[in-house]
Chain A
Amino acid sequence: MSSALRNCAIFAAAVLLPLAGGCRQDMADQPKNNPLTPSAFFSDGRGSRTPEENTVERGALAEDELAVPKDSTFFPLPITQALLERGRERYGIFCAPCHGAEGDGNGMIAVRGMKHPPSYQQERLRQAPVGYFFDVITHGFGAMYDYSAQVNAHDRWAIIAYIRALQLSRNAPAGMLSPETLRKLKAGPESAPAEHTPEGGAH
């Protein structure tokens, strides 16, 4: 090969090889299944396999002791501020769209035309044992599908604790309140911040 031709070939390679590098996608497209990607290997075309019936997820056995019968009044976890905060957050994600932030059944999805769920302030639900709420979240009720896949047992109890807090928020006996809170309530709307008081003294 003449040296001119060789130089030409080297020059062409130097220009073209970096371009060709962009075409190689072997490492970017590895022969493996990512979550939910299709796969021609299985007859149903799914890369992710459906677990066999009655498969127990690793770590899920620990949840067994949190499962209670429908009529149980036993709350299997210590009720702490952290549990209530967790319950408030999970309630906001999974329950509030229909049940409403205050649990009155006026969530945005209910307003959009979904069946209004009952208010937690109903006497029936105030009296319902905690096991009833656990059962409804786990198995669904009426138009409500079950949330067992989205909300694990621990979070179900956190939500139940928060529902109890919501119920209490509108139904607490005056004796439970601190003198400070009671004084504020008795003072009425006058004690509210100034910008809210144009007709504050109406009652």
Chain B
Amino acid sequence: MAQIFHRSTNFIARFSLFAAILAAGLAGLVIYATPRSPYKTNQNVVREQPIQFSHKHHVGDDGIDCRYCHTGVETSAFAGIPPTKTCMNCHSVLFKDAAYLEPVRESYRSGKPLQWSRVHRLPDFVYFNHSIHVNKGVGCSSCHGPVNQMALMWQSSTLLMSWCLDCHRNPGQVLREKKDVVNMDWKAPANQAEIGRALAAQYKIRTTAELTSCSTCHR
């Protein structure tokens, strides 16, 4: 009786075993990496905006404090996007005829708000509060990166839950004195671990168990 399969099918059978493992591994990698990649998180992706507003110019060059525009950051969950009137505080005089600022003036005349593209967006099931972070020594740049160098705004962190937990498990690593919260040039000093412990005690930061409890952020 003749053989049903040719000898070469032995190789195909062995090869397909390895290929299957490889394919499964590859699929696993794709499933693992895709949600963590900038493709999904939008990390480091510059957003198109109705006006090319430069934080580098306003914060870096002009030295305007974050809280001049984001007035709610110390007192409420939402840091706040300023009303057009805040732009006009200066731009009623500065660059008052510049064509690229026409949408600002149009918004001020008509009362129709500028429609900025949101850069940092958390899922609706996360209850994030800016004020508690800012008032307990977590600086703007710890989450938002070097905003004073961003000509156009991007999201410098992944905003993944694991990223939140990195801090909630060990807040001491980012804590700074309150006077440095808006300081964009702050770098963790060599003895940050020691300083962080002292500040955590001073600010009465809750225990890791409380900070990582589900209902701290999901309620």
Contacts and interface: CB of A to CB of B under 8 A. Distances in A.
Given A28-B123, A97-B63, A113 B31 contact: no
A115 B93 contact: yes
B124 A46 contact: no
B85 A36 contact: no
Interface string B49-90: 000000000000011110110010000001011010110111
A36 B35 contact: no
A92 interface: yes
A29 B122 CA distance: 10
A199 B61 CA distance: 32
Interface in A148-168: 149-150
Interface string A96-127: 01000000000011001111000000000000
Contacts of A144: 89
B37 interface: no
The secondary structure that dominates the A interface is loop
B115 interface: yes
B207 interface: no
Determine chain B's interface SS by DSSP, over half rule.
Answer: loop
Contacts of B80: 35
A145 B91 CA distance: 11
Q: Chain B contact residues (Cβ within 8 angstroms of A): what range?
A: 20 to 34
B65 A30 contact: no
Nearest to A152: B75
Contact of B125 (A30, A97, A113, A150): A30
A27 B124 contact: yes
B93 A97 contact: no
Contact of B90 (A15, A18, A29, A114): A114
B25 interface: no
A97 B31 contact: no
Contacts of B85: 145, 149
Sort chain A's interface into a size bin. 20 to 34
A143 B68 contact: no
Contacts of A28: 123-125
A149 B84 CA distance: 13
B38 interface: no
Given A28-B123, A34-B124, A108-B63, A114 B68 contact: no
Contact of A27 (B27, B31, B113, B125): B125
Given A108-B62, A145-B85, A94 B68 contact: yes
A49 interface: no
Contact of B123 (A27, A93, A145): A27
A19 interface: yes
Contacts of A44: 112
Contact of B78 (A18, A32, A35, A109): A35
A38 B81 CA distance: 13
A19 B35 CA distance: 11
B190 interface: no
Given A108-B63, A109-B90, A29 B68 contact: no
Given A38-B115, A97-B68, A112-B62, A143 B93 contact: yes
B94 interface: yes
Contact of A143 (B71, B83, B92): B92
12 contacts: A18-B31, A19-B31, A29-B123, A34-B124, A94-B68, A108-B63, A109-B64, A115-B93, A143-B92, A143-B93, A149-B83, A150-B86
Interface of A: 15, 18-19, 22, 27-30, 32, 34-36, 38, 44, 46, 92-94, 97, 108-109, 112-115, 143-145, 149-150
In the complex, the 10 A-B pairs of residues with the closest C-beta atoms, listed nearest first = A28-B123, A30-B124, A93-B65, A35-B78, A27-B125, A145-B89, A93-B67, A150-B71, A114-B93, A108-B62
